[in-house]
Structure formats: structure tokens, C-alpha cells
Structure 1
Amino acid sequence: MNISIPSILRGLGGKCLLNWALVFLQRNHICKSFLGVFSVSLAVVDTLLTLSVTALHIHADGHLLGLKLTRYHVCLLVQIIGEVYSALQWPVVVVAGLDHFSTITRRLKTTTKWISCLFVNCLLWCLVTLYVFLLSDFRPVMEEVSHNLIHQCWVFHTPQILQVATFLFLTLGCAVLHAVRSTSKNPPLKDQKTEQSSAHARRRVVHQTLNIFGNTWALFLFFLAVVLLLPVGIPAYLGLNIAWLCFLNSLLIAVVLCAVCPASQLAQGLAEVPSDSFCEWRFKFSLAAEERTRPQR
């Protein structure tokens, strides 16, 4: 798709403002998870990108370190960053899902977690950037006109958002079906009462998880569906943003909770739910159900 350079600048500026607003909103716990650390790094990269594109556009006929600056460099930079953002979508989802799983199942010590998140975040940026330059089939698209006449840039759209959203919703559906089917099996007679109470608690976890996620993100889901169904598509340089990462954070938490169903730990307040500034992950259990779901000694 062709987008004018002023429109690119306005889009990047609006994205930076939204990014930093969401970082400020989550400032109390943003560095407690991989997605939080990645959000801060994305806000920094977007800010540097916006400043660079603005400088290149203003000083299109200037020189920097012996290199003549033209509007071709604006288009080239936007296309490269868009390709990097598109390539980051799936690795971010995988790493964030593993991070949430380790948090809920308590597989990683919290004292060293932020160090691990910072290291993985830096490694991910480096590997994806090397992949785009060395291994991918990315080829910049430039108009065959003089740099003085360039007013628009060819910008790739990102299909990864639709792929990620579809995959995660299918995974969430499979996790819900697995939880429901596993609770409908007939348990052995000697453990029937305990198994039935545990099955009831797992069903309540799944039901409450879906209610919390749906009630919080219903409007965003409608907006996302409308945007994804538009024939124009989402420009790659706008596809990876912190609003999208906040939605992914809640969706991944819902997927892991439905898949793991730590009912007894949640009932006793032992399970740790990852930080989420939008969904309030509070589960309600009756006292009788809580007593029945406690492990027998």
C-alpha cells in the first residue's frame, strides 16, 4: 500500500503517544514480566524511529557522515522496521506464553525473573533483526522517481496479527474443551466426591476466566475484527504496538489459566496470576468448594 510521508509521521507520532501513555499506566508492574519489558523497549524503538524519520524528512537534501540524505531513506527505514515488527509477532507470543506459564506454575524465581526477561528481550531484538537482514526474503520496494518527487512510500501490511489472534483463540477454545471434557469423565467411586468437587472448581476457573476476559476486551475485540476485515490492512510499522501487547497479555493469561486450571491453588490464594493492568483476575470460590479442593494429607 502507498502511504504519504506526512501520514506516516502522524501515524508514528500517535503510536508513540499511545505507547508511552500505556507504559505510564502500567508503570507499577511493567517490568515484572517479559511483555512489560518488551513494551518499554518497543516504546523506545518507536520513539527513535519517529525522530529519525522526522529528521530524514526535514533534511531530505542534507548530508550526514558523508551520506546524502533523501526521502528514499525514509521509505527504506520504514520498510525495514515494519519487517522487523512483523517478524517479532510470533516470537513475542511464544516467549510471553512461556513466561506466563512459568509464573502461574511457579517454575521461575521472581528475584531473577526481571534479569531473565531483560536478557531474552535483548536477544530477541538482535536475532530477529539479523534474521530480517540475513535470512529473510525481504526486498525493499522503491518508486522509480527522483527523490525530490517522492511523496509516498510503499508500506507492507502485516498479516501476522490475524494469524496470531486466530491461533490464540483456537488454542483458548481447545483449552476450554479439554477442561470441560476432563471434568465430565466419571471418576472412580472411592474418590468420587473429591474428584467431582475438583471438576466443579476447574469448571468455575474456566467460566470465570472467560467472563473476565470477555467483559474487559469486548469492545476491543469488535474494533479488532472491523480493522482486520478491512481490505486495506494494517501497515507493518503500526502492527506491533503496546495496545496490541496489552491485549495479547490478557489473552495469553486466559489461555494458560484455562489450560492449567490451578483451581486448588487459586482457591487457597497460592497461585500467582501474571500482572495485568486491564483484567482483574480475581476468582471466587465457595468455602465448601475450597475445603474440598484442598489436597488430602
Structure 2
Amino acid sequence: MMISIPSILLGMGGKCLLDWALVFPQRSNICKSLLGVFSVSLAVVDTTLTLFVTSLHMHADGYVFLLGLKLTRYHVCLLVQIFGQVCNALQWPVLVTAGCDHFFTVTRRLQTITGRSRLIVRLFVSGLLWYLTALYVFLLSDFLPVMEDVSHDQIQQCWIFHTTQILQVAMFLLLTLGCAALHAGWSTRCLKNPPLKEQFTDQSRAHSRRDAVHQAICMFLNTWAPFLCFLAVLLLAPVGIPAYLGLNVAWLCFLNSLLIAVALCAVCPASQITQGLQALPPDSFCEWRFQFILAGEDRT
């Protein structure tokens, strides 16, 4: 779709404000997870690109020289298209790496690694994700920029690609959450009438897992149900989401909560959760620790 350059710059500026508005309040614990470190890097990249393309567009001569290269409004469109493709390609790698980070955190398999070492590893992984994704877009993907056949000083609009990965990622995680709920319910149903007394422990574990799944899903939906409705309307609308806006800190915060819910449903019954709440990744939107403590007190 064709979007005017001022509208692109306005959208990117609004995205930068949203990024920093979500990053700044979480500054005390945002670097305690891979998604938090990546959110900071995304805010920095968004801000740098927005300032650069805005200054390039607003330049009186219509072009600037940088490192011996003549940059014009063609490059505004080109940079925005490249950045959109990079953001589109980053969706699944970020999901997979963040899911592994959450799994290892929830299962407390990173206790032997110091906090500074974990931060260094997360910084390295975030930088590696940006680097490898950029290489993929330039060298391996079938990306071809779409430019207007006019003089650079007459360009007023840019062709912008739609994001195609957000719906896939959201549906995959929600289906995973649903499968975890069905598995917990089926396990409890199978052990409802155990033939032997020795199966009492297994029945208790199944009930505990079912309770944990139910609590995790309820906590997630109580916080993110309006966002899910907004996302469904936005993705089903005929307009679509520009690729350069698809990857933002608000989306990463949603993924963080959803990945925590999936990890809790997959690996921990309620009894283990209440004993190891400090291992949960930081989440500024869902009060996982507080809610599970209240649920544990209600059961006792």
C-alpha cells in the first residue's frame, strides 16, 4: 500500500514514544529477561532510524551526503521498507529465543549463572538476532524494494509492505495455551476414579497442574483480553498493519505475558510455582507472583 512520507514519519514517531513509554517505567527490571533487553534495543533502533529519515526528509536540498554517499528521499522509502522486512523476519526468532529464555528461567535452570553473565548473554543474543536477520533479508530472502519512477525531489509517497507474522505468532501461542488447558483437564479426568490407592499422588499432581493452568489462563485473559480484541479487529480489518510498525514494545510485552503463561502451564504445577515464584521472568502487566500466592492461600 502507498503511504505518504509525513504519515510514515508520524507513525514511526508515535511508535518511538510508545516504546520509551513502556521501557522507561520498567527500567529497574527490564534487563532481567531476553525480551526486556530486546525491547530496549528495539526502542534504540526505532529512535535512531526515525531521527535519521526525518532529518533526511526535512533537509532543504532534498539530499545529504553521508560517508561519501548521496542520500535522497528514495533512501527514506528504501530504509523504511528494509526495516519493515527486518521486523517481519524477527517475529519467529524472537519468539523462539524468548520462549527458551522463559523456560529456563521458570524451571530455574539458570541459577548457577550470575546475573551479570546472563545480561551479557542476553545482550549478545539480541545483537545476534538483529545481525542475522539483516543478513537474511539482504542475502537469502526474496525481498525487492518497490520505488516510484519519479525524481527524488518529487517523491511524496512510499510503498509499504504489510506484516504477515503477527497473526501467525499469536495464533500459535494461543493454540499452545489451549492445548495445555485441554491436556490438564484430560489428565485430571483420566485420574478421577483411580483403581489403586497408589494413584492418589498422581491424581493430586493432575489436580495441581489443572489449577495452575486455570490460574495462569485467567490471569493472562484478565489483563490482555482487551488487547486481544483490539488485535483481532486490527488484523481482520482490510487495511492491515504496516511492517515497520508490527514489531514494537507493546507487542513484546504481550508476548512476554503470553510466554510466561505458556511456560507455567507447560512445566509447573501450582505447588512448584508457589515455592519458586521468584524465578518468574519480570512482567509489569500481570501480577503472577501476587495472584499465585493468593490462590495458594485460598487452597490452604
Aligned pair partner of 2:248 in 205, 227, 241: 241
CA separation in 1, counterparts of 2:260 and 2:222?
A: 15
Inter-partner Cα distance in structure 1 for 2:181 and 2:277: 22
Query: Which residue of 1 is the match for residue 15 of structure 2?
Result: 15
Q: How many residues align?
A: 290
Q: Check 1:85–1:144 CA distance in 2 against 1; reply closer, same or farther (3 A cut).
A: same
TM-score (norm 2): 0.92
* Contact 1:201/1:289, CA 8 A, preserved across alignment: no
| 1:35 lines up with 2:35 in the alignment | yes
Residue 239 (structure 2) pairs with residue 232 (structure 1): yes
Q: Which residue, 212, 223, 230 being the options, matches 2:230?
A: 223
In the alignment, does 2:107 pair up with 1:105? Answer: yes
Is the aligned partner of 1:258 residue 2:269?
no
**3-state DSSP of counterpart to 1:62:** strand
After TM superposition, give the deviation of residue 74 of structure 1 in Å: 0.4
Indicate the RMSD between aligned Cα atoms, in angstroms.
1.7
| Counterparts of 1:159 and 1:139, CA distance in 2 | 16
**In 2, Cα distance between the equivalents of 1:115 and 1:64?**
32
Question: How far did residue 119 of structure 1 move?
Answer: 1.3
Shift of 1:48: 0.5
2: CA distance between counterparts of 1:129 and 1:69? 20
Aligned partner of 2:137 in structure 1 is 132
Q: What displacement does 1:267 show?
A: 3.2
Q: How does 1:141-290 map to 2 (within 5 A)?
A: 141-186=146-191, 187=194, 189-269=196-276, 272-281=279-288, 282-283=291-292, 284-286=294-296
Identity of counterpart residues, as a percentage?
71
Say whether the 8 Å CA contact 2:84–2:243 is kept in structure 1.
yes
In structure 2, runs of 5+ residues without a counterpart are: none
Deviation at 1:289, TM superposition (A): 6.0
- Structure 1, 281-290 or 260-269: larger mean CA deviation: 281-290
Q: Secondary structure at the match of 1:69?
A: strand
Unaligned 5+ residue runs, structure 1?
291-297
C-alpha contact 2:205 2:269 (8 A) present in aligned 1: no
What is the Cα deviation at residue 61 of structure 1? 3.1
Opposite residue 4 of structure 2, the aligned amino acid is S
* 1:148-176 Cα shifts (integer Å, max 9, x gaps): 21100001010100111111111111111
SS in 2 for 1:143: coil
